[in-house]
Structure 1
Amino acid sequence: MSFDSDDFLAMARRNPVNVALLARLRALALPQCHLTAGCLFQAVWNLRTGRAADAGVKDYDVFYFDDSDLSWEAEDAAIRRVQAATADLGVTVEVRNQARVHRWYAARFGAAYPALRSARDGIDRYLVACTCVGIDVADGALYVPDSLQDLADGILRINPRHALPDLFRAKAASYQARWPWLQVIAPDAAPA
C-alpha cells in the first residue's frame, strides 16, 4: 500500500479534535509548536481497522520549544494558556516544552536524556520509529524523520535515535493490544 504525507495528513484531520487544536494552537503562537504522537498515528491505525479516527485517543500531545526560560513556571503558564483555549473540547491536552525535558526525564523513565535543540528533536525520540510524527502548527506541514511506510503497514521497530529496548517492548505491546494486526520487529532482529 502506497502512503505519503498527503494521505497521512488527510487521515489525521479526520479526527475533528486535531483540526480544532491546530487552529487554536496556531492562534497561541507557541514557539516551534507541533501537534504530535498518538492523536495523529492512531488515526491511521483506527481508520485502517474501520474505527473512527479519534477512537481511544487518550490525550493530545503538544510539543513546543522555548529555551529562553527553562523554569517550570514558564512551562506551566504555556500549559494553562493551552488549557484555557481548549477546555471546551473535552479532551486531555498534554503540553511539554522540549527545552526542559532533559531536566525530568531520567527521574521519570530511568534513562538519560540529552538537552534538545528543537521541538522536532523531541519528536525524533519516540520509542517506536514509525510514531515519530508531528504537524507543525504554524504552517500545517507534516514533520516525519522516517518513511511513513512502516506506519501505514503497521510495522513497529525500535527507534535507533532513542533505543531503549525494555521501554520499546512495553510501548509496542500496548499498541499491539489495541491493534492486534500490528507487527512488532524485535529490537535485536536484523534490519529488514
Structure 2
Amino acid sequence: MISRLPLDQQLDSLRAVLSRNDMLTEVLARAATLDLPGWYVTAGCLFQTVWNVVTDSPPTNGIKDYDVFYFDAGDLSWEAEDAVIKTGREVFSDLPVEVEIRNEARVHLWYEDKFGVACPPYESTEAAIDNFAATTCCLGVRLERDGRWRVYAPHGLSDVFNLVVRPNPVLAPRSVYEAKAARWQEQWPELTVLEWPSTSLTIASGG
C-alpha cells in the first residue's frame, strides 16, 4: 500500500499519480508562469485525482474546478485581486476547465459573510490550506523554477491514498464538512467518511 511506504516514496507516488491528470499538470505549468507569491494549486483537483486513480476511474472524473491560491498582503483591495484573476483568465482561457485564483490574504474580509463564522487573517497560503474543512483536503502543490514539485501536506498523505475523509474542526463549521463529505461520497462511494467530533470530545481533547 502506498500509505505505508516511506514518506519520500509516498511523495514520488503522489507525483506519479497526479501526473496521470494531464489537465492538472497543465494548470500547474501555466500557474507557474504567473509568478504569484506563495502560490499553490490546491484542494479538490489534487485529492480527487488521487481518489480517481486509486479507484480506477478517469483521472479528471468529478473534478469541478482547479484552485490556485496565492498570498499577497501588500494590497488587500478587491481591485488588486481582480487584476490577478483577469490575468489568470487569459492564461487559462483555452482550457476546458474552470481555474479559480484567490488571494488568501483577503479571505478574512469575506469569510464570515459566506460561512457565518469569523476567520482570523491568514499569515500565508499554507495557513489557509491548514483550515480546509477536512484534513484530507489539506494538500498543495506547486512547480518551483527549477522544475521540482513543492508539496505541502501538513497531515501527511495516508488518508488521501486510503480514501479516508477526516474532519478538521478548526474553522469551517460542521455543516460545511458534512455537505462536502456527502457530495464526495456520492461521487466516490468507496470513501470512508469520519464523523465530526462531538462537543464533549472536543473539550476533552483540549480543543
Q: Say whether the fold is shared (TM-score over 0.5).
A: yes
- Calculate the TM-score normalised by the size of structure 1: 0.94
CA displacement 1:111-170 (0-9 Å, x = unmatched) = 111100011111111101111101023342111001211111111111143352221111
Structure 1 gaps, min length 5: none
Q: 2:180 corresponds to which residue?
A: 171
Equivalent residue for 1:32, pick from 19, 38, 61: 38
Q: 1:119 corresponds to which residue?
A: 125
CA contact (8 A) 1:9 1:142 kept: no
SS of the aligned residue for 2:195 comes to coil
SS of the aligned residue for 1:89 comes to coil
SS of the aligned residue for 2:26 comes to helix
Q: 1:6 corresponds to which residue?
A: 12
Residue 189 of structure 2 corresponds to residue 180 of structure 1? yes
Structure 2 gaps, min length 5: 4-9, 203-207
* Residue type of the alignment partner of 1:57: I
Residue 43 of structure 2 corresponds to residue 43 of structure 1? no
CA–CA distance in structure 1, aligned partners of residues 184 and 14 of structure 2: 18
Q: 2:64 corresponds to which residue?
A: 58
User: What RMSD over aligned residues (CA atoms) do the two structures have, in Å?
Assistant: 1.6
Equivalent residue for 1:147, pick from 128, 131, 156: 156
* Residue type of the alignment partner of 2:124: S
Paired residues, number: 191
Q: 2:78 corresponds to which residue?
A: 72
* Residue type of the alignment partner of 1:84: E
CA contact (8 A) 1:39 1:57 kept: yes
SS of the aligned residue for 2:56 comes to coil
CA displacement 1:76-135 (0-9 Å, x = unmatched) = 011011110111112100111000000001101111111000111111111011111010
Identity across the alignment (%) = 42
CA–CA distance in structure 2, aligned partners of residues 20 and 146 of structure 1: 26
